[in-house]
Amino acid sequence: MLVGIDASRASAARRTGTENYSLYLIRNLLALGGEHRFRLYFREAPEPSLLPGAAEERVIPFPRLWTHVALSWEMFRHPPDLLFVPSHVLPLVQPPCSVATVHDLGYHYFPQAHTLSQNLYLRWSTRHNARSATRVLADSEATRRDLIRLYGIPEARIAVVYPGRDESLVPVHDPLLLDAVQARYGLRAPYILYLGTLHPRKNLVRLVQAFAHLQSRASETAYPLARLQLVLAGQKGWLYEEVFAEVKRLGLEGRVVLTGYVAGEDLPALLSGAEAFAFPSLYEGFGFPVLEAMACGVPVVCSGTSSLPEVAGDAALLVDPLDVEAIGSALFRLLTDDKLSRELVARGLEQVQRFSWRRCAQQTLANFEQAARVAASRRPRAVD
């Protein structure tokens, strides 16, 4: 079977969750392809080392509406047996067999976290993917349930395929490397770390408030809360100014550090140097940063909503993301209870073993084959 894959997001210069999903999954699909052949579609030529493996590459330069014009035209002229879109939207013209991944439907729950135009496009593109694809992959049970409830997609057409984790992320113990990365981003130990894009759905205003609540408990412990920093690592998203405003209102300038985008090679040391990892997101389709923190041996506090309990298992303190005091109290427990912190670190290192890109690719290939059988069964039979 010739499998076409929209690889345009895998070659992004600054990758976040869905772009990394695309990159790592495609790499492992190529490694496991077996009898299948692959054709990768790019908007611009990728670096030769980006996706090593036996695959045909089609570079289709086009300034705007690349998916619905350029890729559609390619599908019309030279359709593969199956088209897979891992991190965007299916083109308007597509072959009879297609598979798409739907990562999350958070915009339904928190529309205020997106602009009006983003909301409209997200609603249209998700509905289009869910209804057009022969088979839909969901990152989590939470996303699968949302697809069934909000879009009426038959359960039999949806498969939950958990993403993998970046296996290059391991605990860093070298003090010189830890110090160098901290100096690069203008921070110092001890610190609590958040990692991800800065926008309203990540609930960072409440995290800043929880950090202020934490400071008020300095008299209860010998832990040096007065020296503690809150590090918000990630590129700026929509309405990030609200976070700056709350930091200023609470008088936490200098105590809350915003690093901007963090280079991939710096992530292991940045994560490993944290005393605790905080991820009180209001909604996540999966939640890669939780796995990344656990893989680096950092105890985690995260929301007990959407997909995050699936990702965290019993290896994190789960909190109500709307309860500022609960977030602050959970962080206080991690900082002051060494036994609890060590237990969560050990559980976290076990929990991350459940997630691998090889397993994700194996299950994805199995879904390709199932989608091909379904598409074949729909074709009209020749009449003798």
pLDDT in tens, 28-55: 999 997 789 999 999 999 888 888 877 8
19 located within any domain: yes
Whether residue 216 sits in one domain with residue 194 = yes
Whether residue 257 sits in one domain with residue 133 = no
Whether residue 60 sits in one domain with residue 203 = no
Which residues are within 8 A (CB) of 309 and not within 5 positions of it... i.e. 6 or more apart?
A: 318
Whether residue 208 sits in one domain with residue 339 = yes
- Is residue 382 pLDDT above 60, yes or no? no
Whether residue 305 sits in one domain with residue 285 = yes
Number of domain units in the chain = 2
Whether residue 369 sits in one domain with residue 295 = no
Q: Residue 61: which domain range?
A: 2-164+356-378
For 317-349, the pLDDT digits (tens) are 999 999 999 999 999 999 999 999 999 999 999
- Is residue 384 pLDDT above 80, yes or no? no
DSSP 8-state code for residue 137 = E
**What is the Cα 75 distance to its own chain's centre?**
28
Q: Hey, which residues does 56 pair with through a beta bridge?
A: 39
For 177-236, the pLDDT digits (tens) are 999 999 999 999 999 999 998 888 899 999 999 999 998 898 899 999 989 999 999 988
Sheet of strand 37-42: strand arrangement: 56-59, 37-42, 2-6, 82-85, 98-102, 135-138, 158-160
Model confidence, pTM: 0.90
170 located within any domain: no
* CATH code of 334's domain: 3.40.50.2000
384 located within any domain: no
Q: Are strands 56-59 and 191-195 parallel, antiparallel or unpaired?
A: unpaired
Whether residue 180 sits in one domain with residue 112 = no
For 268-318, the pLDDT digits (tens) are 999 999 999 999 999 999 999 999 999 999 999 999 999 999 999 999 999
For 82-127, the pLDDT digits (tens) are 999 999 899 999 999 999 999 999 888 888 777 888 889 989 999 9
169 located within any domain: no
Helix, strand, coil percentages in the chain from 3-state DSSP, rounded to 5: 45, 15, 35
Whether residue 368 sits in one domain with residue 342 = no
383 located within any domain: no
234 located within any domain: yes
Whether residue 218 sits in one domain with residue 339 = yes
Inter-residue contact 166 to 24 (CB < 8 Å):
yes
Whether residue 253 sits in one domain with residue 268 = yes
Mean pLDDT of the chain: 93
Find the mean pLDDT for residues 47-64. Answer: 88
Whether residue 340 sits in one domain with residue 206 = yes
